[in-house]
Structure 1
């Protein structure tokens, strides 16, 4: 089914389709590699997405080696193991729970923010979870902007991945994303979305 572009948007129809309407979660990929240059271009775009206090808790681990892939796949849910093994590139997206240490650099107008707001570990973790999730969403859109497909997943043993890849305990996994060019039968049927009137109210 073709969905009409919205002329009220500044993005042209092709960009609207690339980022949203035609973009899908991929479950299979070709063997075309994803380069470091592509990943850097993605990050250099999405780093401008807004977060609270300009905090930047997202950390990205690119899993490229066979050994790294084996370490990761064993902790994925059974239904996610084969596609994670086969994807050209896999990225572990995690939140840095000590992100506040960077605030004096990235938020110079309020250098005392880390002491005023983020002294408590629980406060840092909840803030990192929200803003890290925002940055993870920007990352997925960035992958699409690069003409690639993303397969984000939360079906994994989070505690095991944290122990495997972040043994110091300062990072927490948010999502695992398979990345590449979509392969044969890459898409599940599109699930329905709520309509505007089901979501938006005015007061």
Structure 2
């Protein structure tokens, strides 16, 4: 634990507050085009062009994703970018037959996982207050925290990918047990879901499925 204190802490807080004021004065909201790109008109994709994704773009994708908020800054998500033919063959063992082609055709498939031992990193991630005692010997709380926050990070990952001009197609039609055995045996990592990323072949798209209106699923209290 090496958290700043005193005048150093005051200066860091003041800078963080001013940085946020500057950001909001510079950008009041995203443009409608930007919102369309990341969510409103975005689509899940199942077919892909052969345009590759440079490793540098994957690194940029991670740098954006990691800034999304998580409980106590736990950051439990771990990402495996499966891109080699050997890696794809290993991953294919876990997939339902109808999903194999979707995965094999994508330039990269990310395994979105979470580390059950995430809390060991809290002295670095949350240095101002030692919260490790909340997780030590409490596997149910570890699982709940890792799964919830790792899933959040997976959603940030998808939005960040779209913001960078990539297309995504998340998949849950696979065996987590096989993925964990193939990629995470002997570790504290568990898979959550898969996400194909690349540049889509739009000819595989069908019409967008319905969404609920506000009044059906929202309420005020």
Q: TM-score, normalised on structure 2? A: 0.84
Does residue 11 (structure 1) correspond to residue 30 (structure 2)? The answer is yes
**Structure 2 unaligned blocks of 5 or more:** 1-27
CA–CA distance in structure 2, aligned partners of residues 103 and 119 of structure 1 = 15
Q: Distance in 2 between matches of 1:173 and 1:188?
A: 29
- Measured in 2, the distance between the counterparts of 1:47 and 1:186 equals 31
Question: Once the 2 structures are TM-superposed, how far is the Cα of residue 163 of structure 1 from its aligned partner?
Answer: 0.6
Question: Which piece of structure 1 moves more, 114-123 or 150-159?
Answer: 114-123
Match of 1:105 in 2: 124
Structure 1 partner of 2:91: 72
Report the Cα offset of residue 169 of structure 1.
4.3
Matched residue SS, 2:185: coil
SS in 1 for 2:169: strand
Unaligned runs of 5+ in 1: 1-8
Partner of 1:181: 199
Contact 1:149-1:182 at 8 Å conserved across structures: yes
CA distance in 1, matches of 2:194, 2:38: 19
State the partner residue of 2:181. Answer: 163
Q: Aligned partners of 1:11, 1:92: CA distance in 2, in Å? A: 29
Structure of greater Rg: 2
Counterpart of 1:61 in 2: which secondary structure? Answer: strand
Deviation at 1:118, TM superposition (A): 4.5
**Alpha-carbon distance between aligned partners in 2 of 1:50 and 1:88, rounded to the nearest angstrom:** 28
Q: Distance in 2 between matches of 1:186 and 1:114?
A: 47
- Equivalent residue for 2:42, pick from 19, 23, 33: 23
Query: Is the alpha carbon distance of 1:14 and 1:184 closer, same or farther for their aligned partners in structure 2, counting shifts above 3 Å?
Result: closer
Give SS of 1:32's match: coil
**What pairs up with 1:48-127 in 2 under 5 angstroms?**
48-110=67-129, 112-127=130-145
TM-superposed CA distance for 1:155, in Å, is 0.6
Could you tell me whether the CA contact under 8 Å between 2:119 and 2:135 is conserved in 1? no
Which of 127, 142, 160 is residue 142 of structure 1 equivalent to? Answer: 160
| SS of residue in 1 equivalent to 2:78 | strand
The alignment's TM-score, normalised by the length of structure 1, stands at 0.91
What corresponds to 1:190 in structure 2?
208
Alpha-carbon displacement from aligned partner over 1:35-91 (angstroms, at most 9, x marks no partner): 111111111112111111111011000112111110001211111101111111111
Corresponding residue SS for 1:39: helix
Task: Tell me, in whole angstroms, the C-alpha distance in 1 between the residues paired with 2:113 and 2:134.
Answer: 24
RMSD of aligned Cα (Å): 1.3
Higher helix share: 2
Deviations 1:103-149 (A, max 9, x none): 11011111x21113453122111110000000000000011011010
Distance 1:41 1:169 in 2: 26
Find the aligned partners of 2:96 and 2:62 in 1 and give their Cα distance.
Answer: 27
How many residues were matched structurally? 194
In structure 1, the residue corresponding to 2:203 is in which secondary structure?
coil
